[in-house]
Structure 1
Amino acid sequence: MTSLWNWLDRAAERRARRLAQTTSRRSVLVGVGRALVASAFTLPVLPFDRTGQALAAGAHGAGAKKKGPPTDTDCDYWRYCSVDGFLCSCCGGSATSCPPGSTASKVAWVGTCLNPADGKNYLVSYTDCCGRTPCGSCFCNTNHGDRPGYRLGVHNDVNWCMANDSSVYHCTVSVIVGVAD
């Protein structure tokens, strides 16, 4: 048994010496850098839990349901099927327009929502309003049809204000683009 361990030890030493002779420090650093970059792209894809964020923001619509049909300040309103953020209709704007002092983001995400009143699916463009501190009212995180972060056009957990002069997020509007086929 001792001879087997000695043989394994000598073989491991030979391989380590050969690797040290044929590999430079620069190539090792390149390999480590590649591993770090690869992990930066895979970590955002891992599942995560945002319920703490919703509770801290006083998640509107998460508690007892109101009587009657949902309005444009309720997370259950049909056009908010893929929204993730504060509703501008509770922050001084409307369901389709940003509040004064904020500007619409230059990029947006799109969802397909079913209107129960007419049974049709509609394309809804969700646009963040930027330039003011977060509103803090009527937080919704519905995520119907949301896709992982590597498909940005259909992923709602991104700061879409990043293309604007001010990347500070304030609230989100939802504009009906058209009927989905």
Structure 2
Amino acid sequence: MKRAFNLISIGRKGEMEQDSNNLRMPLGDHIDQLVAQMTSSWSQKGSRRDFLMRFGKVTLALVGSAVANSLPTDRRVASADHGSGCTDWKWCYMSGKPCACCGGSNTSCPYSGCVKTGISWTGCCIEPGGCGKIIDYQDCCASGPEYCPSVSCSCLCHNAGTQDWWCTGGTEMNYRCTLARVIGSCPC
């Protein structure tokens, strides 16, 4: 059974009048008409390109928030192994030589001839305040000893067990050290 209702509108002079065309219109038709009026009104104010831009932003925001949780981040919380000389909490998920111990810093390679790899991995470490931080690890590599000499490092970390070195691009690419930079928060 279809439901019908009376549509009352306000005329140009402000008096209320019944719309004879919509006197017994089903609810579904009324919704269709309302949507048609809204889209018609909106189309006069914006272009198709504007609509696609707004629709794309909303869609990416919805999809992006769902995809962010599935990114390859090890969310297990590790603590730094202070017995091996790795005293910085950012190195809790590292296996190798921290660049900060080798003449560089946690965010830059030790020499200008050293290059960052295009590949990185992440882990969650506990900072001194007790909250977890997501750390992005990236290897610094050398194309030859003259461009990035082998450095003597004051510490060697084995906190994450055996890890691959990510120096790619030919046989001359040699591992020098690993960068560790904070990129976000993980559960406290």
Using the size of structure 2 for normalisation, the TM-score is: 0.47
Q: Higher helix share goes to which structure?
A: 1
Larger Rg: 2
Greater relative contact order, per chain length (Cα 8 Å cut-off, separation 6+) = 1
